[in-house]
Structure 1
């Protein structure tokens, strides 16, 4: 007896069925295809932006107005609040350096390398808490995790205004390190759950630029506070710096409680994003459709023996060491007052110090746009360039007089010591993209990057970058230069390996 023909709508292949077959007897191999096709029809359609305007900003010229609206809402909440809170974090973080050159050293009787000890405590705390934070940020609601660590560091910022001894300074700085070490990795991780590879680098360098902008404005806050409040209510100007920074920090908490986002895989409809918006975002990022973060010891052992993971942890180490010599800049300006008394006032030191961070911001933003556009999403070329510039600049710093007759050239060199630091946002974004199919490895890698940088600081700060020796740290300049070269080589090797993997998989 002839069989009727049934056309499967998914595979477009003719399938034969008996003439008198019950619907419940249809092959299980056919039903999933039909059901799956129905689901695909209901899934949001993802359109590609081919306009030249995307090179300026990825939503400009996009054909899907709904896409533009959803990404805009994401940018003005998640990206904006992440950037503002990072700005404030670095405003709080840099205030110790400005307080030190604005009278704190003399008022507390800080001698020798006690400032180094404070920074070492900060780094050790970051090392100890790195992986526990990495696990906690995906075990609890990521939004409340970020708010929690911010509240603790704000309390510690206020506490600095009452510090009376170098020992208290070291203890508080160590506690600040414990909580601040959770902040940037968490924000970078959350951004990576929402944005695609064509969007992430530009947003990550905006986040990274917030660190330099915070440091930039830190100089003006310190200068204005010292000038206007020094001696008010019997408090020295540098103590008021911590109070003002703490008040500014409190201003971001309420907007974050209302509008900040959990990671995409765990997000529920809220004031900003509807269920349809979240579904659209997850369709763009299939890895975020399930919240799968169940860590085992095997996951950490796998990461520990992965050369790819170590390449990213290496970025944290090499970039940090390549950038440590930039801390000599403020102390170089202050030291001129011993060579030629009256060279710079406190306000001038604060203002000139801010220029360093303005340069860093320009480099960071430029590298992100170049990576997303001219480099077509490749992250390694700007990193290679930055490491090479760092190598050249630091070798010259180490081989020329610290106090030359013509200060302009050395001033120029110091302003170019942050190239490696400025491109840090690229390797943070790269880590989210590289492990896009392995969420647990992504979290472990992200948490470990800062651990590497903190470990490097603990060792290097107390040997080659001693405060008591700055700015005469010849060995430190050379070490920063060598690590600039290693930073470049790490990026080049990982970039070539990534290209090889893509060719092997036909991508």
Structure 2
């Protein structure tokens, strides 16, 4: 009996301490922000919260970024291998590259929503690392593939295993961070994919020097080296992934810090995990959230050249001058470098200058896509501008984190809806990507890809229209909820609102 009282007393003390830290943080939030807040949000927080955030960022963001790095490395290596000898060695002279990408996409699409549903029921720190180990083993197997059919099968299962990671990690990130922190973390996570694409090009340029060593071609060494890089990251996930706050027990967070994390999410209106019911499923399927946000992400993901190595194919087709294998793999990384920089700029401006508004960078990225892809569709343009368009198309590739942050905020009141919507956004983006390249990004059209460039331009215009529509719907929803509750400044709304009215960091953008 006495032991039970001690446990209850300790639990109460933990909650009280967490509430005190939260109150201190909220008091600071209402004050004018210091200049260093705009560099990194934790610099303007109380000492205890700053230490908690440091540990969380160090573990969660590092693992998420490294995991996405290896995921994207293992996803995109097929393109680097294809232009570095695999095409000639395996006789891939038709649309086999498109089919390989489609097989990966089909596996990816099948696994996403089921995987995120699993994450709402089981421990993410077990499920996600297991899937990472699976796709690492399959990447090793790709080095031994000797025909297109074997690659098709392996790519399908790689996609199935990788389907757990991006939507799953976005769901976990959305379970730990508040509004003014969320876009930066989501976008930092997303940039690791662009960095991986860059690294894959440089890696292939370096690994190609191993061509012929121990009986392996240069492109086979790429798969082996990718697998070697992936293995330790997958194993680390079992130890550093913190699950979600309500079930979290990582070695690097104290009980007080876990309780503090739970209080932070309560202030965001972020619901904990609850059972699936018919009413819940019906509510999710009849809300505008899943349809508008899914369409937004579908248009972003497909409104660019995406997984197609259009720049590399252009360089490979060039006769005067003729580029080396190293140049073909490294020059296109300039586009990825632009994507990395602009992704971070979008995140910082969205969280600070735009006061939590997600739509301005999305609209800007869509406009840049239109400018670049319309120019490339014309094709008969100055050579310098053609290169500029290939490189500047990276402006439209860094919007994923913003779209996901927007989804977390819009769906904050229902944990299961948030998990399903995030997975649905990514899944249906790849549903379109599974067949669209077979029509508009055909390998036989390289390097001009006129149909693809025109399609990307129209999808980017639709992205802009959908962003404005989502903004209007969310603003109206917030206004209705406030009217129903009869409160001028309901705290929960102030913390999640990003498109309408005022919030604790200043005027909104309505």
Normalised by the shorter chain, which TM-score bucket? 0.7 to 0.9
Shift of 1:38: 13
1:239 to 220, 226, 229: 220
Give the equivalent residue in structure 2 for 1:354: 333
Does structure 1 retain, via aligned residues, the 8 Å contact 2:269–2:413?
no
Give the equivalent residue in structure 1 for 2:158: 176
Does structure 2 retain, via aligned residues, the 8 Å contact 1:265–1:288?
no
Within 5 Å, which residues of 2 pair with 1:104-143? Answer: 104-143=86-125
* Equivalent residues, number: 463
Shift of 1:42: 7.3
> Take 1:323 and 1:247, find their aligned partners in 2: how far apart are those partners?
31
| Compared CA separation, residues 66 and 367, structure 1 to 2 (3 A) | same
Does structure 1 retain, via aligned residues, the 8 Å contact 2:130–2:234?
no
> Take 1:264 and 1:332, find their aligned partners in 2: how far apart are those partners?
48
Structure 1 spans left out of the alignment, 5+ residues: 1-35
Does structure 2 retain, via aligned residues, the 8 Å contact 1:190–1:264?
no
> Take 2:297 and 2:55, find their aligned partners in 1: how far apart are those partners?
31
Shift of 1:164: 0.4
- The alignment partner of 2:305 has SS state of helix
Give the equivalent residue in structure 1 for 2:466: 490
Give the equivalent residue in structure 2 for 1:59: 42
> In the alignment, does 2:361 pair up with 1:382?
yes
> Take 2:448 and 2:218, find their aligned partners in 1: how far apart are those partners?
28
> In the alignment, does 2:256 pair up with 1:273?
no
Within 5 Å, which residues of 2 pair with 1:236-385? Answer: 236-268=217-249, 270-286=250-266, 291-324=272-305, 327-337=309-319, 340=320, 343-385=322-364
Shift of 1:278: 0.4
Within 5 Å, which residues of 2 pair with 1:188-207? Answer: 188-207=170-189
Shift of 1:288: 8.5
Give the equivalent residue in structure 2 for 1:97: 79
> Take 1:38 and 1:190, find their aligned partners in 2: how far apart are those partners?
23
- The alignment partner of 1:162 has SS state of coil
Does structure 2 retain, via aligned residues, the 8 Å contact 1:44–1:280?
no
Does structure 2 retain, via aligned residues, the 8 Å contact 1:320–1:453?
yes
Give the equivalent residue in structure 2 for 1:459: 435
Within 5 Å, which residues of 2 pair with 1:29-44? Answer: 43-44=19-20
- The alignment partner of 1:416 has SS state of helix
Does structure 1 retain, via aligned residues, the 8 Å contact 2:315–2:328?
yes
Task: Give TM-score scaled by structure 1 length.
Answer: 0.87
> Take 2:280 and 2:392, find their aligned partners in 1: how far apart are those partners?
39
> Take 1:251 and 1:136, find their aligned partners in 2: how far apart are those partners?
24
- The alignment partner of 1:194 has SS state of coil
Q: Which has the higher mean CA deviation after the structures are superposed, 112-121 or 299-308?
A: 299-308
> Take 1:289 and 1:123, find their aligned partners in 2: how far apart are those partners?
31
Task: Give TM-score scaled by structure 2 length.
Answer: 0.87
Does structure 1 retain, via aligned residues, the 8 Å contact 2:198–2:337?
yes
| Compared CA separation, residues 272 and 288, structure 1 to 2 (3 A) | farther
Give the equivalent residue in structure 2 for 1:421: 397
Larger Rg computed on CA atoms = 1
| Compared CA separation, residues 290 and 433, structure 1 to 2 (3 A) | closer
Give the equivalent residue in structure 1 for 2:60: 78
| Compared CA separation, residues 345 and 196, structure 1 to 2 (3 A) | same
> Deviation above 4 Å: which 4+ runs of structure 1?
36-42, 287-291
Give the equivalent residue in structure 1 for 2:418: 442
> Take 1:235 and 1:38, find their aligned partners in 2: how far apart are those partners?
58
Give the equivalent residue in structure 1 for 2:146: 164
> Take 2:315 and 2:17, find their aligned partners in 1: how far apart are those partners?
65
1:224 to 190, 194, 206: 206
Give the equivalent residue in structure 2 for 1:185: 167
Structure 2 spans left out of the alignment, 5+ residues: 1-11, 483-487, 490-510
